[in-house]
Structure 1
Amino acid sequence: MADIHIERDHTLGMAAARKLAWRWAEQAESDFDMSCTYEEGEACDEVQFTRSGVSGTLKVTGERFELDARLGFLLGAFKDRIESEIVKNLDALLAAKKPAAKAAAKKKKAG
């Protein structure tokens, strides 16, 4: 079995991070045929995802995303490719959120 561990710090806050995690879960379901469950907590949310040969969690806080996945024997051979795809998708979601966060901060200062 192969394991994947990815961490990304952010400055989105919990509400925005939660929205982004929901979008990530929706993408995982539609693009990779994952089954996802989302559990909200006060300080940490958790997305559990699974499909044949893959299982894992995405933990979400107001400052960090932490993804842990376990690949089965057959998918373990594609670990690097799978990991790079997950990183690409998560980084794209985070990058799309940054301009909106900066714009909101500018509006706050101006008001």
Structure 2
Amino acid sequence: MAQISIVQAHSLSQEQARAAAQQVADKLAGDYQLACKWDGDVLKFGRSGVEGALTLQGQRAEMAITLGFPMSAFSAAIETKVADKMRKVFA
């Protein structure tokens, strides 16, 4: 299993940060066929072999992803793609 952790600082309002997080989730859902669901300020997502959460905390967005064995081979590419998307939408 592989763990991915990304922290992105931002200066967005809570509403704007939530919209930005949703954009990241929509991209992940489309690319990796993930189901996404909000639980307060935490956007949880997953499917077989992938689970994670994007947590909004003040002026930070924290992404934590756990990849099962088959997906762990792609962890570097996934981390790069997600970090780039987060940097763009939370800018």
Find the aligned partners of 2:10 and 2:39 in 1 and give their Cα distance. 20
Task: Show the counterpart of 1:27.
Answer: 27
Structure whose residues are more often helix by fraction: 1
Deviations 1:28-55, CA, capped at 9 Å, x for gaps: 2223211001122xxxx00101022110
Percent same amino acid at aligned positions? 34
Structure 1 gaps, min length 5: 96-111
Aligned length: 91
Structure whose residues are more often strand by fraction: 2
Task: Show the counterpart of 1:100.
Answer: none
Give the residue type in structure 2 aligned to 1:18: R
- TM-superposed CA distance for 1:86, in Å, is 0.7
Find the aligned partners of 2:2 and 2:26 in 1 and give their Cα distance. 24
Find the aligned partners of 2:25 and 2:76 in 1 and give their Cα distance. 21
Structure 2 gaps, min length 5: none
Find the aligned partners of 2:31 and 2:7 in 1 and give their Cα distance. 21
More contact order relative to length (CA 8 Å, sep ≥ 6): 2
**1:9 paired to 2:5:** no
Conserved in 2, the CA contact under 8 Å of 1:37 and 1:49?
yes
Conserved in 2, the CA contact under 8 Å of 1:17 and 1:62?
no
Give the residue type in structure 1 aligned to 2:15: A
- TM-superposed CA distance for 1:19, in Å, is 1.4
SS of residue matched to 1:69: strand
**Superposed CA RMSD:** 1.3
